[in-house]
Structure 1
Amino acid sequence: MSVSVTRRTVLVAAAATGAATLTTNPALASPRPALADRETSALADLEAKIKDGMARYGIPGVALGLHHRGRDYVRGYGVTNLADPQPVDGDTVFRVGSTTKTFTGTAVMRLVERGTLDLNRTVRSYLPDFRTADAAASARVTVRQALQHTPGWLGDFLLNTGEGAGALARYVSEMSRLPQLTAPGTTFAYNNAALSLAGRLIEVVTRRPYQEAIRTLVTAPLRLDSSAFYLDDLPGARVATSHTFTTDGELVADPAAFTVPRSLHPAGGLISSARDQLRWARFHLGDGGRLLSSRSLRLMQSHPGPGGSLFVELDGVGITWMLRPTAEGPRVVQHGGDWAGQHSGFLMVPERDFAITVLTNADSGPDLLAELFVEDWALDRFAGVHNLPATPRTLPAAELAAYAGRYTFEQIGFDGETGSLAFLLVPDAGKLQFRAETGEEGGWLVFYRPDRVLEQLPDGTLLPGRDDFVRGADGTVTFFRSGGRLFRRTPLDAAPAVAATRAGTPLKLPIRIPTP
């Protein structure tokens, strides 16, 4: 859970082995020999890519879970801790960050089936005192909109409200300060606050702490014995220690970084293993018994809210699952998560009986994950599907002018203080050039479809991932969306001093955004 804003604004900032187990699901037919040979080759390619990525990016440990054509494959690579190395295996536990949201969503669906929650009722139906800074807008937000990342309020609210049983209640009370960015239900914008709010709803209707409710409703019935929110609940577990960068750029073991505030548990606090994450995938592929009806499982993976981008193009979000289109048609069901020193990817293609999860224990992990999950490397080899085409093209200066502006992102940190990041986008030879407010030039945005862009480094390299622009009701560009976050646009002619002098605070990223 803690991807830095740097990962998605790098253009601006720039201006191993373990034991393997292979099991077969007897409920599914074994692959034909030719397919088995092809799968063996693909697995070998995957292992080689993981090991190569670990070496190139300096990742100490990786755990892999793969489900393909009825077969499960679990493996660990590297070590848990550079300072005290132990081998990583399929039962080593990591923080899975934002994939936790799908556990929160699944618990909500269990309560929907019981009739104690209704996706189409407002949040205030269950929490009468709930409100954000825009009381009228927050009164209209439904449970479904909260789970689809469309409530419209500021989403990166990371306030640490302590470890007591009332942490979530205090957190939700403090949401009264959150500004409304867009009208409820109209715009996808990644929203950690909404998922912590959903965790509080679970507490209220079950009359149990969120952590206990998740254990009772989800992890215990599915026998996810290596999944919990506190290490004390996993005695004897081998832990993948977080590794973070020092100010000198050195990757070091950082055990303290493993801790996630209780207020953020529903958005990204789960500890789990590759083996448990693979069981989680099989459950959501429909092999989960009777914990949820097939109708509820399908609902979680369909009927998305408004679309957009979060590193990849999205049709939108179902019930906490990111729904990603492909050129061939089958939909990718995806999540993943980040926290300081803990980064993971998770995706499924139900129509192709395919799922993969990769867990890493270093802040260099996103580089490998981008190759496996943002690009379509794994999708191509195991599911035969690919990203929608994205051919770069230049735009006339008159069209680019509609996007030019100063763009600002805000978040509220663990201590309750507001931080921000701003940059300029300026037309430049058919593209949009990133500029720091002090004038450094840091790369470009290159259009491939209306309002959709790729990021390009100063050396011309196109980065993995896709961003887009959001237009308001009057048709003008109001936000740049990157990493699922909204950067508010101010036209350059509305801030002539900044545009003319390139003045302002030097571009730096003092705030890392924990993205459960």
Structure 2
Amino acid sequence: MDPPSLSRRTALSGAVAGVAALTLPSCSTKPSAAPADNGASSDVGAAFAELDAKIEAGMEAYGIPGVAAAVWAGGEEHVKGYGVTNVDHPTPVDGDTIFRIGSTTKTFTGTAMMRLVERGKVDLDAPVRRYLPDFDVADPTVGAVVTVRQLLNHTSGWLGEDVQDFGRGDDAIARYVASMTRLPQLTAPGTVFAYNNAGLVVAGRIVEVVTGSTYEAAMQNLVLDPLQLGSTHYFTDDIIGLNVAAPHAVVDRKPVVETGYWAVPRSINPTGGLTSSARDQLRYARFHLGDGTAPNGSRLLSPQSLQAMRSNPGAGGTLLVELTGMGVTWVLRPSAENVTIVQHGGTWPGQLSGFLVVPERNFAMTVLTNSDGGSKLLPDLFGDDWALRRFAGLGNLPAEPRRLSAVDLAPFTGRYVAEAIDPSGTLEQMIIEFRASDGQLDGTTVTADANGRPDEKSRARMGLAFYRRDYGLNLGPDNKPVHSRSDFVRGPDGAIAWFRSRGRLYRRQ
């Protein structure tokens, strides 16, 4: 299984068994005026029905009360809700129900940044200090040279697991960025991919400074209003009266409402603060599949800028899937057919979502869930290549698990540690111990405080089966591969320096 997140609050990017879920669908399927061939089966309606069945089965298996999904394939739009928003006060989910979308927010920040690039107000390859003269992290040499692009492609190199809460004021993001002097440098800028929430907050601060407004107001003006995303908001005050999906934990195989999961610090809005609906997410996806014009025909971005967002990837690795690298906030994922898959998604306690587009196949898909059980359903749809094969005629890179000798496994065994900073500013650790077992890596994970004292209740098993040099398939409780991948990163001397799981770096000790 995938290692648990460092903290329930640091899970911006989760295993549980399920219980039967009530399915109350609300659906619309609309043909376009000019259907496009996306390389998949011509029977798109049958594919939509298969998707519905997979979602409903996953809801029952994984304890998910409500799901909303939206697909653009074969020139047709499919938007549908399943189940209920809240097991205590059940209201049917539909295509306009509001969910947290977590880290898919990053791509909205990236889209706004590209609008500023087109206006000549930002240069992606300029140092951050051109826009934030006082910017610094723990390594002062990095603060002087790190670029805007490295913020957006997750190669800035400092500790990125920082979700500190700096209040609800308009200065929340500025205060967060000022606090980043405590963030240690893990790798040199531009050299290693490591998922970095803090970097996107810095990008959000640049948006504020360049536009002379709050981040949220700038996003409203640059992206949300022009794309007519009326169900997409940063502030809870803006969704009063709308149909909102409550977050759920899974306890004793049953979903339980956890209202305490809902809040997100304003200071991390640029990296994961948006709420949205499946319908709005599909409209956003179709903008990125298009030529850069808004629904009213006005131009927001040139086709070249849209292409630039999904080009020129930084360093590659894994983020549940194998990735070529990150473009401007987009995960760029290879396929067996050499067609690029453009992807993101988001995780926040009780609210998990997936989002992908394939421009060469004119295909887009988003799925929003209101339970920790979404951590099982989403890999079934986005890590496995079922949806890609069915709708876009694409498959994942082959990955056949191998069994290695104890000698070959020895360089990878040992203890690995990652760190994170929670909303209160407290440092915590995740510790992974790997040992060789029957040709694979068998390990345990545990969370710990800043002094390394473990929380034994958090201890869990994880395993890894290599499929090529330094890359492995994560193993489930039955010791069989699940739909996610991890890898090891070597240092300048060629020795293993890091384990990378869920995009995060764990230092080998």
Q: What is the TM-score when the length of structure 2 is the normalising length?
A: 0.91
Offset from partner CA, 1:251-305 (integer Å, 9 cap, x none): 3112332221001100000011000000000000015411100000000011100
Alpha-carbon distance between aligned partners in 1 of 2:489 and 2:300, rounded to the nearest angstrom? 38
Query: 1:233: how far off?
Result: 2.0
The answer on 1:59 being equivalent to 2:67 is no
Report what 2:303 is aligned to: 294
**TM-fit CA distance, 1:250:** 4.7
Deviates more, 1:80-89 or 1:234-243: 234-243
**Aligned partner of 1:414 among 412, 423, 429:** 423
Query: What is the distance in 2 between the residues matched to 1:484 and 1:478?
Result: 15
Cα gap change, 1:10 to 1:430, in 2 (>3 Å): farther
Cα displacement (A) at 1:401: 1.5
Distance in 1 (CA, whole Å) between partners of 2:35 and 2:508 is 53
Structure 2 counterpart of 1:267, from 264, 271, 283: 271
Q: Name the stretch that deviates more: 399-408 or 75-84.
A: 399-408
| Cα contact 1:282–1:288 (8 A) shared by 2 | no
Alignment of 1:22-61 (within 5 A): 22-26=29-33, 28-29=34-35, 36=42, 38-61=43-66
Asked whether 1:323 is paired with 2:332, we answer yes
Q: 2:378 corresponds to which residue? A: 369
From 238, 261, 265, the equivalent of 1:233 is 238
The letter of the residue matching 1:151 is S
Residues paired across the two proteins, number = 481
How far off is 1:349 after superposition? Answer: 1.0
Q: Distance in 2 between matches of 1:204 and 1:178?
A: 22
Deviation at residue 165 of structure 1 after TM alignment: 0.4
Distance 2:465 2:41 in 1: 39
Aligned CA distance change for structure 1 residues 300 and 258 (closer, same or farther; 3 Å): same
| Deviation of 1:112 (Å) | 0.5
Over 3 Å counting, the alpha-carbon distance change for 1:324 and 1:217 in structure 2 is: same
Q: Distance in 1 between matches of 2:301 and 2:241?
A: 31
Aligned-residue offset at 1:244: 2.0
SS of 1:163's equivalent in the other structure is: coil
Task: State the shift of 1:238 in Å.
Answer: 0.7
1:436 CA displacement: 5.7
**Which whole-Å deviations, capped at 9, do the CAs of 1:99-123 have from their partners, x for residues lacking one?**
0000000000000001111100011
Amino acid across the alignment from 1:330: V
1: CA distance between counterparts of 2:232 and 2:49? 28
- What residue in structure 1 maps to residue 143 of structure 2? 138
The structure-2 alpha-carbon separation of the partners of 1:441 and 1:59, relative to structure 1 and needing over 3 Å to count, comes to closer
Equivalent in the alignment of 2:93: 88
CA distance, structure 2, for counterparts of residue 230 and residue 158 of structure 1: 17
How far the C-alpha of 1:377 sits from its partner, in A, is 1.1
Deviation at 1:235, TM superposition (A): 4.5
- Do the aligned residues in 1 keep the contact of 2:14 with 2:372 (CA within 8 Å)? no
Stretches of structure 1 lacking an aligned partner (at least 5 in a row): 491-516
- Residue aligned with 2:433, SS: strand
Q: Which runs of 5+ in 2 are unaligned?
A: 17-22, 294-298, 447-453
Displacement, 1:17? 2.7
Distance 1:10 1:89 in 2: 26
Kindly provide the CA deviation profile for residues 184-208 of structure 1, in whole angstroms up to 9, marking residues without a partner as x. 0000000000001110010000011
Q: Report the RMSD for the aligned CA atoms in angstroms.
A: 2.2
Residue aligning to 1:454: 473
Could you tell me whether the CA contact under 8 Å between 1:96 and 1:359 is conserved in 2?
Answer: yes
* C-alpha spacing 1:411/1:249, structure 2 compared with 1 (3 Å): farther
Q: d(CA) in 2 for partners of 1:376 and 1:30?
A: 21
- Taking the aligned partners of 1:256 and 1:400, their CA distance within structure 2 comes to 42
Q: Distance in 2 between the 1:69 and 1:226 partners?
A: 26
Match of 1:159 in 2: 164
Partner of 1:216: 221
Match of 1:428 in 2: 437
How big is each residue's C-alpha offset from its partner over 1:391-412, in whole Å with a ceiling of 9 and x where there is no partner? Answer: 1112222221111221001101
Following superposition, the deviation at residue 81 of structure 1 comes to 0.7
Contact residue 222 and residue 288 of structure 1 kept, 8 A: no
Quote the Cα distance in structure 1 between the aligned partners of 2:171 and 2:137: 19
Name the counterpart of 2:414. Answer: 405
Deviation track 1:422-465 (CA, whole Å, cap 9, x = no partner) reads 12112223222214689989353111000001122353221210
Decide whether aligned partners of structure 1 residues 231 and 405 sit closer, same or farther in structure 2, where only a CA change above 3 A counts: same
Task: Indicate if the aligned counterparts of 2:416 and 2:433 stay in contact, CA closer than 8 A.
Answer: yes
8 Å Cα contact 1:149-1:317 kept in structure 2: yes
Contact 2:15 2:376 in 1 (8 A): no
| Structure 2 SS opposite 1:4 | coil
Are the aligned partners of 2:87 and 2:255 in contact in 1 as well (CA < 8 Å)? no
